[in-house]
């Protein structure tokens, strides 16, 4: 029952609750978040990936959504607010803003070090991105390639072709087509200057199709 559900979410660890919340339909997410104390809801939202957190908050009444955002820690709150600015039906609304981006001059050893420091990103992403001095996307290296290369190998040599990318304003339907056409696992999202803004994963696409 809804009351039982509320009691469970109030009592369990926020990280476990976030994982559970990510698995249910948006309508149920909204019902659960509406029923929780604001501080508990904020703790759970903080533990979710920013794109999933934004999707969940977008289902709520504006007032409740604002209350939860106001209770959140500054760093995740800023990321989630930025994602809420995008239309849910756009690449910006679908993307995750947690990713690993390294300078174009970086080596495999640099990438391994960055991965060790950001292990939680591995739960959602399977790619290391390369950016120039202006933070514009110039390359993408699948994680699998890192494990068969020497530490001194320049990452750029493992990413010879420019990656397929989409603009933050690209329509959701077009993003889905691109994933299907090129059989992608990850699709980088850039702003109008070509700066890397986030990434969409195959899991995000599956989630969109499941909720249609």
Q: What is the DSSP letter of 109?
A: H
pLDDT at 37 exceeding the cut of 80: yes
Q: What is the DSSP letter of 163?
A: P
Structural domains of the chain, with CATH: 2-85 (1.25.60.10), 100-210 (3.10.580.10)
Q: In what helix (H) or strand (E) does residue 46 lie, and over which residues does it extend?
A: helix 38-47
β pairing state of 137-142 and 100-103: unpaired
**Spatial separation of the C-alpha atoms in residues 26 and 35, rounded to whole Å:** 14
Measured CA to CA in angstroms, residue 125 lies from 38, 68, 85, 115 at distances of 30, 27, 23, 11
Cα-atom radius of gyration of the chain, to the nearest Å?
18
Query: What mean pLDDT is reported for the chain?
Result: 92
Residue 2 pLDDT grade (very low, low, confident, very high; cuts 50, 70, 90): confident
| pTM (predicted TM-score) | 0.84
pLDDT digits (tens, 9 = 90+) for 184-208: 999 999 999 999 999 999 988 988 8
pLDDT at 20 exceeding the cut of 90: yes
pLDDT digits (tens, 9 = 90+) for 143-156: 999 999 999 999 99
Quick count: other Cβ atoms within 10 Å of Cβ 37? 11
Please tell me whether residue 105 adopts helix, strand or coil conformation.
Answer: coil
Residue 212 pLDDT grade (very low, low, confident, very high; cuts 50, 70, 90): low
| Percent of the chain whose predicted confidence (pLDDT) is above 70 | 99
Q: What is the dihedral of CA 136, 142, 148, 154, to 10 degrees?
A: -10
What is the predicted pLDDT for the residue at 41? 96
């Amino acid at each position: 029952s809804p009351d039982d559900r509320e009691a469970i979410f109030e009592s369990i660890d926020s990280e476990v609750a976030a994982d559970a919340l990510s698995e249910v339909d948006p309508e149920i997410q909204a019902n659960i978040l509406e029923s929780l104390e604001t501080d508990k809801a904020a703790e759970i939202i903080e533990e979710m990936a920013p794109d999933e957190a934004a999707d969940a908050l977008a289902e709520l009444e504006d007032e409740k959504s604002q209350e939860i955002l106001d209770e959140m820690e500054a760093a995740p709150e800023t990321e989630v607010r930025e994602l809420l600015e995008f239309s849910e039906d756009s690449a910006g609304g679908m993307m995750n803003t947690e990713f690993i981006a390294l300078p174009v001059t970086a080596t495999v050893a640099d990438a391994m070090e960055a991965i060790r420091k950001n292990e939680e990103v591995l739960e959602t992403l399977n790619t290391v991105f390369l950016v120039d001095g202006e933070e514009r996307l110039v390359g993408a290296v699948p994680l699998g390639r890192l494990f068969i290369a020497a530490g001194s190998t320049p990452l750029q040599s493992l990413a010879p072709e420019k990656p397929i990318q989409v603009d933050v304003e690209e329509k959701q339907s077009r993003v889905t087509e691109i994933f299907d056409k090129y059989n992608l696992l990850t699709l980088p999202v850039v702003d109008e200057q070509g700066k890397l803004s986030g990434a969409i994963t195959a899991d995000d696409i599956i989630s969109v199709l499941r909720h249609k």
